[in-house]
Amino acid sequence: MFCRSSPLEKRNLKVGLPTVSGTLVWDDGVHKTRIFNSGGSSSLLHSYRRSFNGFVAKLTNDDAHKLTNVEGIVSVFPNKMKQLHTTRSWDFMGFSKNVTRTNLESNIIIGMLDTGIWPESESFNDEGFGPPPKKWKGICQVSSNFTCNNKIIGARYYKADKNFHPPDIQSPRDSEGHGSHTSSIAAGAFVHKASLSGLASGLARGGVPSARIAVYKICWATGCSDADILAAFDDAIADGVDVISLSVGGSFAIDYFKDSIAIGAFHSMKNGILTSNSAGNSGPQLASITNVSPWSLSVAASTIDRKFFTEVKLGNGEIYKGTSINTVELKRNLYPFIYGGDAPNTKKGYDSSESRYCSGDSLDKALVKGKIVLCDSVDSGEGPSAAGAVGAIMQYYLDSAFNFPLPVSCLGSEDGTDVSTYLNTTRKPKAKILKSIEEKDEQAPYVISFSSRGPNTITYDILKPDLTAPGVDILAAWSQGTTVTGYEGDNRIVPYNILSGTSMSCPHATAAAAYIKSFNPTWSPAAIKSALMTTAVPLSLETNTDAEFAFGSGHLVPSSALDPGLIYDAGEIDYVKFLCGQGYDKETVRLVTGDQSSCSNSINGTAWDLNYPSFALSATPGKSTRRVFHRTVTNVGSAVSIYRAMVKAPPGLEIEVRPNLLGFKAIGEMKSFIVKVKAKIDGNNITNMMLSGSLIWDDGLHQVRSPVVAFA
């Protein structure tokens, strides 16, 4: 159970030595409240004191309920587990290795909250690096099998419950691969001829290869706990990182101050640190995005112009093209071919209705060993692999390719039917799965199906995700403490791997933020976020039917974000006003901010008043809905400039901007304006419940674009 406490007063947690009568006392120097004394069933696990106040304790339900009524406690919530959400991507975005850079890039420190890192990877070689920046206050946690260098300047690991499971390594070393992958996307060094067994061969590099990496290992074989996430935020803020990258999320969006990531990101924002979050991998379902706090950057995943296909060759000579990443070249020309439904593991109680899916132990090893098996759905491949199959053909269309522990090809329904017909009409059917091939994807970029979609279920009138970035078929560094898939039976140990997920798009945005920060070290998190959002390019609605719910402001363009022209800035007080408008009472707001802030007429704002770089309006179907948005922009482009408002709106959406001209005479000058939006969405047309428009401030040199979206 995690408890957040007030930063207003110096309150101390006094805990005695572990005894049968475990006791925790809340002491503010005036009053003492006995929180629990329940026969040792409750105990303190961790307290946060560096950047914000709070503690983690094992509590009974009664003790937890008692805590909610203790003065100075902001929130009490269970310590839940979150899950992890991957070199051509930088070139695809027009961000070449020769892009303009500043010498200050080596002073930028990226805090990676993930599964750790594999320090021996060439992506983390510190050749040419000087000592860590003087601002760095972190440590390299002592471990017998881990050493930092001038690239990886700090590393810590967290496990509040002390329960380790294979293949966990009790150090910052990465035993999963995920953290090494995300770290190298963000800040990996130049590595020539990198590939996954010859696939995606080329130059591997991070977005800011000269930046430093600080590692905070929060994720293990069982997931990533809230307690460990908050402990890492607490340390990262105090250690002096410039940007935080977190490719982790829950199953669904929850209240801001019951969400460890939103809480940590709020405190990092207070300290001038932007948190970049993955949107989640629960798409294409609407309202599936999990990281939605307005003070953090939420990143969706889109494709690059590279796709992997895996061909299937049948005994009759026909060849079918499916999706997967297969590095294995099978030696024989053809192999016996069997349907999973014809090979149930009856000894363990399975029948054909289960074995047809090839999951778990459902397949009979005696019937499957040495053969290729046809499965009626996509699975991890562990079932066929454990049964001794040499490969599997899975009947399910995937728009992205994934690794499996054995050769696999995933076929669409039409091709799958043809293959099934061949299997059922041939006396001795045979097949072979070939090594994957790489082809150009002419339709890229588009948001991939698994990327979580909006709307933002916590605050409908804040558009999420914020933007999209490459997150499909990304080659990056990998841990050699695991295999390509990490599944039993997979013995492929590789230095680089190809992954897909919003976990991979997130560090692309992280690196872009770090790049902007290296040129503008005094910019606030909101300013950096604004630069990324207003220079993003909207995607085609033909290939992105969920529109802004899929891609937010658009596709990330890091080089354009360096010169945004205008920025929508915001600070802690702006978010406090927003929280007041969301219904948080003054006591909660004070406890959150650490000062005497109070919700009042002057400190109370709606979501439409938050100085956000996008505009969202939740409407009632069949009725006209009106909103007035108040915004202020700061000039960071040409000192003397005049911006004209350019509005695009489809039928049913009306957008009015006052004034429609903004004149600036100096850098840093601010101008305010209002946007009046009127929307009427046809309640009888459930397929068109969203209207997409835009506002662009144009001075002839800069186009500062914001999406204007109405939905029901």
Q: CATH number of the domain that 57 lies in?
A: 3.30.70.80
Residues 231 and 133 in one domain: yes
Catalytic residue chosen out of the listed positions 46, 85, 178, 508: 178
For residue 65, indicate whether it is catalytic.
no
Residues 330 and 363 in one domain: yes
Q: Answer whether residue 30 is part of any domain.
A: yes
Domain-terminating residue out of 45, 78, 111: 78
Q: Answer whether residue 605 is part of any domain.
A: no
Residues 64 and 191 in one domain: no
Residues 278 and 313 in one domain: no
Residues 411 and 311 in one domain: yes
Residues 109 and 199 in one domain: yes
Residues 48 and 122 in one domain: no
Can you spell out the DSSP letters for 323-364? E-B-----SSS-EEEEEGGG-B-GGGT--HHHHTTT-TT-B-
Residues paired with residue 220 on neighbouring β-strands, in sequence order: 223
Q: Answer whether residue 140 is part of any domain.
A: yes
d(CA 711, CA 258): 27
Q: How confident is the model at residue 177 (pLDDT cuts 50, 70, 90)?
A: very high
Structurally, the chain folds into a number of domains equal to: 4
**pTM summary value:** 0.89
Q: In terms of Cα–Cα distance, which of 340, 498, 323, 338 is closest to 410?
A: 323
d(CA 639, CA 523): 17
Q: How confident is the model at residue 604 (pLDDT cuts 50, 70, 90)?
A: confident
Q: Answer whether residue 320 is part of any domain.
A: yes
Least confident of 79-93, 236-250, 692-706: 79-93
According to DSSP, residue 93 is labeled T
Domain-terminating residue out of 421, 440, 459: 440
Q: How confident is the model at residue 86 (pLDDT cuts 50, 70, 90)?
A: very low
Helix (H), strand (E) at residue 653: strand 653-658
Residues 156 and 199 in one domain: yes
Helix (H), strand (E) at residue 268: helix 260-270
Q: Answer whether residue 459 is part of any domain.
A: no
Give residue 85's pLDDT: 47
Domain encompassing residue 313: 306-440
Mind listing the pLDDT tens digit for each residue in 649-687? 999 999 999 999 999 999 999 999 999 999 998 866 555
Helix (H), strand (E) at residue 597: none
Q: Answer whether residue 672 is part of any domain.
A: yes
Mind listing the pLDDT tens digit for each residue in 369-413? 999 999 999 999 999 999 999 999 999 988 999 999 999 999 999
Residues 328 and 356 in one domain: yes
Catalytic residue chosen out of the listed positions 6, 46, 75, 114: 114
Residues 266 and 310 in one domain: no
Residues 38 and 59 in one domain: yes
Mind listing the pLDDT tens digit for each residue in 191-213? 999 999 999 999 999 999 999 99
Catalytic residue chosen out of the listed positions 5, 260, 282, 503: 503
Domain-terminating residue out of 78, 112, 144: 78
> Residue 392 belongs to a domain with what CATH number?
3.50.30.30
> Residue 664 belongs to a domain with what CATH number?
2.60.40.2310
Residue 33 has pLDDT above 60, yes or no: no
Give residue 11's pLDDT: 30
Residues 42 and 160 in one domain: no
Q: Answer whether residue 33 is part of any domain.
A: yes
CA distances from 165 to 170, 221, 401, 561 (A): 10, 7, 29, 43
For residue 126, indicate whether it is catalytic.
no
Give residue 203's pLDDT: 94
Q: Which two tokens stand for residue 591?
A: 């406890």
Give residue 17's pLDDT: 30
Q: Answer whether residue 354 is part of any domain.
A: yes
Give residue 57's pLDDT: 72
For residue 400, indicate whether it is catalytic.
no
Q: What is the mean pLDDT of the chain?
A: 90
Q: What is the largest CA-CA distance in the chain?
A: 86
Q: Which two tokens stand for residue 203?
A: 């130059």
